[in-house]
Every structure is written in structure tokens, then in C-alpha cells.
């Protein structure tokens, strides 16, 4: 009977539990933990509202940087196209002169042929690609009259200059092609960045958009507070400067008329420069204010729309001052001044890569074309935080 019994499973026991049972329990626990771990990230796959805002802002900044590259490529392309057109016109004119010189040589050859005065090597000379080689032959030189020699000289000169200009035109056309390729690349980059930003914004719910608007409102309030603070600092500095000037004037008048006349001459030499700048700045600001409400369009220079550097360039052009097209060129088109000494008309640049610019109007405020989807407006220079301000430049 004992032979019909089932043998006990062998194996190690742990705390009275057989190993297979322990393994089953352990695997079940792992599976549950695994399901929980896999389920948790599913709710966190969507980026937070703050992350979306930062990503959108970054995309707009990248688009603005690409816009500057587009503007530079467009300007370079326009200049290169003008140069190519000039060179082609020059080549056409020189070709005409070359043909006229060739016709004159042909008339000499025909005349010599009719009179029988032409030697065989003269005909060869007239048909040669490099007539200068035949100049060195004394016998041929002897047969030529002064007028014939002048005609040959003119032909050789025109041929050489025409070939040179044709080479220049070919090289300029190649450069133009490269500039046009750069223009297309920059344009595609801008369009891609803007499309990415629009896609991110389109995925936000109505509640998220409302929260984002509230965050923007808080940022604007903080920016306004910082602008007021700067305005108070500038007003205090201006008052102190005026009081110091009054004290100096009082000291000068009490020291005698001779000294006083000297000081007045010195002060009059510095006043016109400030007055001149203020006059130009007033014209630039008047133009900028007239553009408020017009849409931001990348690459636009007016009159119906602007990008940031297009607006500042047009504003100062109205004041008779020519600025470069791009922000990273405009930042070098004047004298850098401390933010605390910024005056109306100064240009305020933003970010480490200098991809944005506005025109200062005083009291911590500026007029600028912010970004795609917005309009030219007045805004605090702290609109994106104090750390975003790169520099202040006085352009005139």
C-alpha cells in the first residue's frame, strides 16, 4: 500500500511556507507594483502649465532669433542682387564696346584685303584669341598705322576688362544663390518654431488658458511695479543733478564775471548735444506711438506691420537716423549707457543672444513689437523679468 502514496514535494521551507507558494506570492506582488508604477506616469505624461508656458516662450524667442537671421539674409540677398544687376549691366556695356572694337579691326582687315596691303600674318593676327602675342612681332608693328594700333590696344583692353567683369558676375551669382538658400532656411525655421508654439497652445483646455492668463497678469503687475521703481530712481537722480547744477551756477556767479563767462561757454557746448538728441528722440517716439496697435509680423518693416527691430529701425529713420536691420547689429549702433541713465529714445535690448529690442519712452516703459500674435504696444521693460534685459544703447 505504501507504494501507492504520492511522494511529498521536496524543497526548502521558509517559516512553514513551501517555496512555490512564496514565489507565487512574490510574483503577484511584483506584478501589482509594476502595474502601479506603470499607471502612475500615465497621469503625469502631460507637461505642467508652467512647463508649457516656458516652452512656448522659448519657441517664440527661438523664432525671433531665426527672424533676425532671416532679416540679415534678406538684406544680404537684396544687396547681392543689386551688385549682380550692376555687374551684368557693366558686362553688357563692355561687351558692346568689345564688339565695336572688333568691328573696327574688321574694317581695317577688309580695307587691307581690298588694297592688297595685308600680309598673311596680319589676317592671322586679327583672328587670334590673344592679339597681344602678335604685338611683340616687330614686322607686324611696322605695318600698322597709329590708328590701327590704337584700335588693337582698345580691343585688347576691352576684352580683358570684359572677361574680368564676367568672372566677378559669376562669383556674385554664386554668392547670391547661397544667400537665397540661407534665406529659405531661416524662413523655414521661423515657420516651424511658430507652428510648434501654436500647437502647444492649442492643446490647452479653457481652464488652463484661464490659469495661464492669470499668471501673465501677475507677471505684468510685477513688471509694472519694477518700472515704477526705476521711474522713482531716475526722478531722484534727475533732481539731484539739477540741484548740483544750481549749486555750481551759484558758485560761478559769486566767483566773478570773468569766470562766469568761461563756465557759461563750457555749459553751452554740452547743451546742444543733449538738446539735439532729445529732439531726434521725440520724433522717433512720435513715430513709434503712431504704430501702436499694428500687428507683429516676423520680417516686417512697416507700414502695416512690424517685427521688433523693424519698428525701432523705422522709428529712428523718421528722426533722420539710419539703423541696421537686425537686433545684433543695432546693439552696436550707438553708445551703451547704464539702465539707470536710460533716456526716452534709447534702445533697450533683451536676452543674452540679443534677440529682442524696444524703444524706451521713460518711467521704465517702452514701445515694442512683442511677438507673433500680438500688437505694437507700450509695456514695462521688465515684461520678462529684470534678468532678461541685456543692455541700453543710445543710437544718436
Sequential DSSP letters for 43-91:
HH-SPPHHHHHHHHHHHHHHHHHHHHHHHHHHHHHHHHHHHHHHHHHHH
Percentage above 70 pLDDT, the chain: 70
User: Is there a catalytic annotation at residue 368?
Assistant: yes
C-alpha torsion 189→191→192→198, nearest 10:
150
Question: Which pLDDT value is given to residue 300?
Answer: 93
List the catalytic residue out of 61, 193, 325, 356.
Answer: 356
Question: Which pLDDT value is given to residue 71?
Answer: 83
Tell which wins on pLDDT, 86 or 14.
Answer: 86
By mean pLDDT, which of 64-73, 268-277, 334-343 is the weakest?
268-277
368 and 382 Cβ atoms separated by less than 8 Å: no
Question: Which pLDDT value is given to residue 135?
Answer: 54
* pLDDT (average), residues 106-134: 58
With a cut of 90, say whether residue 295 has pLDDT above it.
Answer: yes
User: Is there a catalytic annotation at residue 4?
Assistant: no
* Residue 159 in grid coordinates: 576684352
With a cut of 50, say whether residue 259 has pLDDT above it.
Answer: no
* pLDDT (average), residues 287-296: 97
Dihedral pair phi/psi, residue 63, rounded to 5°: -65, -40
Rounded to whole angstroms, the Cα distance separating 102 from 99 reads 5
By mean pLDDT, which of 4-18, 251-265, 337-351 is the weakest?
4-18
With a cut of 50, say whether residue 101 has pLDDT above it.
Answer: yes
Instruction: Assign 386 a pLDDT band (cuts: 50, 70, 90).
Output: very high
pTM of the model: 0.61
Highest mean pLDDT of the ranges 139-153, 267-281, 358-372: 358-372
Rounded to whole angstroms, the Cα distance separating 127 from 105 reads 10
With a cut of 80, say whether residue 387 has pLDDT above it.
Answer: yes
List the catalytic residue out of 63, 126, 284, 308.
Answer: 308
Mean pLDDT of the chain: 76
With a cut of 70, say whether residue 187 has pLDDT above it.
Answer: yes
With a cut of 70, say whether residue 31 has pLDDT above it.
Answer: no
User: Is there a catalytic annotation at residue 365?
Assistant: no
Highest mean pLDDT of the ranges 38-52, 181-195, 297-311: 297-311
List the catalytic residue out of 368, 371, 390, 394.
Answer: 368
Residues 133-147: b if buried by 16+ CB within 10 A, e if exposed: ebbeeeebeeebeee
* pLDDT (average), residues 259-264: 43
Amino acid at each position: 500500500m505504501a507504494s501507492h502514496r504520492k511522494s511529498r514535494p521536496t524543497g526548502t521551507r521558509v517559516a512553514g511556507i513551501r517555496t512555490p507558494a512564496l514565489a507565487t506570492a512574490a510574483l503577484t506582488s511584483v506584478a501589482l507594483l509594476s502595474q502601479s508604477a506603470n499607471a502612475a506616469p500615465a497621469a503625469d505624461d502631460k507637461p505642467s502649465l508652467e512647463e508649457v508656458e516656458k516652452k512656448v516662450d522659448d519657441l517664440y524667442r527661438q523664432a525671433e532669433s531665426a527672424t533676425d537671421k532671416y532679416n540679415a539674409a534678406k538684406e544680404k540677398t537684396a544687396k547681392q542682387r543689386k551688385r549682380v544687376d550692376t555687374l551684368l549691366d557693366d558686362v553688357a556695356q563692355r561687351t558692346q564696346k568689345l564688339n565695336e572694337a572688333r568691328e573696327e579691326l574688321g574694317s581695317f582687315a577688309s580695307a587691307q584685303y581690298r588694297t592688297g596691303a595685308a600680309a598673311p600674318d596680319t589676317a592671322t593676327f586679327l583672328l587670334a584669341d590673344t592679339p597681344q602675342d602678335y604685338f611683340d612681332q616687330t614686322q607686324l608693328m611696322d605695318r600698322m598705322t597709329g590708328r590701327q594700333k590704337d584700335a588693337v590696344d582698345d580691343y585688347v583692353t576691352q576684352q580683358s576688362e570684359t572677361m574680368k567683369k564676367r568672372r566677378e558676375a559669376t562669383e556674385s551669382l554664386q554668392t547670391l544663390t547661397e544667400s537665397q538658400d540661407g534665406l529659405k532656411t531661416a524662413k523655414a525655421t521661423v515657420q516651424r518654431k511658430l507652428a510648434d508654439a501654436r500647437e502647444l497652445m492649442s492643446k490647452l483646455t479653457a481652464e488652463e488658458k484661464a490659469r495661464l492668463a492669470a499668471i501673465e497678469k501677475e507677471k505684468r503687475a510685477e513688471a509694472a511695479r519694477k518700472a515704477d521703481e526705476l521711474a522713482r530712481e531716475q526722478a531722484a537722480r534727475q533732481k539731484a543733478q539739477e540741484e548740483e547744477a544750481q549749486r555750481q551756477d551759484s558758485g560761478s556767479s559769486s566767483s566773478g564775471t570773468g569766470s562766469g563767462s568761461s563756465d557759461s561757454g563750457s555749459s553751452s557746448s554740452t547743451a546742444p548735444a543733449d538738446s539735439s538728441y532729445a529732439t531726434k528722440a521725440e520724433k522717433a517716439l512720435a513715430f513709434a506711438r503712431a504704430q501702436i496697435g499694428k500687428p507683429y509680423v516676423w520680417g516686417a518693416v512697416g507700414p502695416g506691420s512690424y517685427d521688433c527691430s523693424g519698428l525701432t529701425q523705422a522709428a529712428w529713420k523718421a528722426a533722420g537716423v539710419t539703423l541696421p536691420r537686425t537686433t545684433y547689429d543695432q546693439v552696436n549702433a550707438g553708445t551703451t549707457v547704464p539702465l539707470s541713465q536710460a533716456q526716452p529714445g534709447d534702445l533697450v535690448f533683451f536676452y543674452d543672444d540679443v534677440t529682442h529690442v524696444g524703444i524706451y519712452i521713460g518711467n521704465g516703459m517702452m514701445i515694442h513689437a512683442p511677438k507673433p500674435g500680438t500688437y505694437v504696444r507700450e509695456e514695462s521693460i521688465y515684461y520678462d523679468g529684470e534678468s532678461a534685459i541685456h543692455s541700453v544703447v543710445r543710437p544718436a
